[in-house]
Structure 1
């Protein structure tokens, strides 16, 4: 289920400020404390926040939320971004696809391609593309993360280092105000870095919510990417943007 705008802003606030009191949030968003409590209750039910005395904070774990939950968030926007991205990939390309739910949606739109070679550590991508026998699939070995449906670890990084792709496609956990692409964990950032260095062209897909999120591990500056697929209409025009759908 998608979060509304205020719920996203509450998450952004607690990621920036840490523990936040209900009264402070009510004043900040000009609504009643009862309204904020309903929002907080929903965020806690989804595992995105936890209640503390008189307020709310981040969950004890700072790792990424589950694949199933993330796949439902901003699902329409993610599908639009995936369709736009897929249309830019020529038949016969060799592509690297990283982690994330938007990239799993990309796989659905790649099924109509005549030929492709796909190198990935994203299990959902591999399972979807298996339906097209004209698509070659190479999948990493390593640590299986059940909750994220991907393969991680040093062996997965080495796997990507064994190829050179026409296009490397990355998602991300967040983008900073200084336009730096971020991930929650070092093992996730290492995968994206491997894709970037082993591809002749680097593409990023990031819905507008990524500019409201917080993550601690740097991947690369946005300027390193040759194409950026987003619905964030507020980015500087010097970036190679492929815009789709308007942000809320």
Structure 2
């Protein structure tokens, strides 16, 4: 099937469903994820479709920036999780955060903290915590994504690997009995590197991510020290967390 034919099929599916996961597009069109991403890229570049977190949508279905839309989803749960985690961080601590709505909520909860050293790839988090309360903020470089204003790629990873921090915090696309997963290869790789830089390694995520299918494994529960969420996870996930001797923090 030629790309132009797949482009028509992509638009047909988007007109039918509004928003569709990239993995689902690949399955329906019977092509690899690498192929479907190549097909989507020129459509995103020209503005015909909008790329979301592991999905694509027609611009008319968005109506607002994708990241801002995700900030409104389960916002009360994310605020509660952020408040619980912020209470465990002290003035003067060092913290590394990847991009995501849950970490952006955490950054807002940290606005009252002082003298933090913050390392992030998120322009939203950097703007929230820079130039206030004596904080020092370091932002990873690279090309910023249009959907979330975050930098990814080898340059960003090389930058964060220069730091060792007290708290390394990531978001998650999915939580399964096997551990932490995401939908995007670059985001999963970045998150894995963030966790490697922290003395304390946290995942912040709301209950909607439990038992969701996801494409890329980030790590097992033995790769984290704390999972912060707003509801108890299903029994199989709770048992896996306990077996790994990780902490479960329920907001």
How far apart are 1:232 and its partner, in Å? 3.2
User: Which residue in 2 is equivalent to 1:243?
Assistant: 250
User: Which residue in 2 is equivalent to 1:203?
Assistant: 202
Q: Does the CA contact (< 8 Å) of 1:96 and 1:195 recur in 2? A: yes
Aligned length: 199
User: Which residue in 1 is equivalent to 2:125?
Assistant: 125
Query: Which stretches in structure 2 are left out of the alignment for 5+ residues?
Result: 1-13, 23-27, 30-35, 38-50, 56-65
Distance 2:91 2:21 in 1: 43
TM-score, normalised to structure 2's length?
A: 0.71
User: Which residue in 2 is equivalent to 1:219?
Assistant: 218
Distance 1:229 1:68 in 2: 22
> Helix, strand or coil for the counterpart of 2:193?
helix
> Helix, strand or coil for the counterpart of 1:68?
helix
Deviations 1:149-182 (A, max 9, x none): 2111100000111111111001111112x24101
Q: Does the CA contact (< 8 Å) of 1:94 and 1:166 recur in 2? A: yes
Q: Does the CA contact (< 8 Å) of 1:119 and 1:139 recur in 2? A: yes
* More deviation, 65-74/224-233: 65-74
User: Which residue in 2 is equivalent to 1:9?
Assistant: none
Deviations 1:98-117 (A, max 9, x none): 11011011111111012100
Q: Does the CA contact (< 8 Å) of 1:123 and 1:150 recur in 2? A: yes
Aligned pairs (5 A) from 1:35-46: 44-45=17-18
> Helix, strand or coil for the counterpart of 2:167?
strand
Q: Which has the higher helix share?
A: 2
Deviations 1:126-163 (A, max 9, x none): 11112514111000001210102211110000011111
User: Which residue in 1 is equivalent to 2:60?
Assistant: none
Q: Does the CA contact (< 8 Å) of 2:21 and 2:54 recur in 1? A: no
> Helix, strand or coil for the counterpart of 1:232?
coil
* More deviation, 225-234/63-72: 63-72
Distance 1:164 1:94 in 2: 8
Query: How much is the aligned-residue C-alpha RMSD, in angstroms?
Result: 2.9
TM-score, normalised to structure 1's length?
A: 0.72
* More deviation, 129-138/112-121: 129-138
> Helix, strand or coil for the counterpart of 1:214?
coil
Q: Does the CA contact (< 8 Å) of 1:183 and 1:189 recur in 2? A: yes
1:67 aligns with 2:67: yes
> Helix, strand or coil for the counterpart of 2:213?
coil
Q: Does the CA contact (< 8 Å) of 1:111 and 1:131 recur in 2? A: no
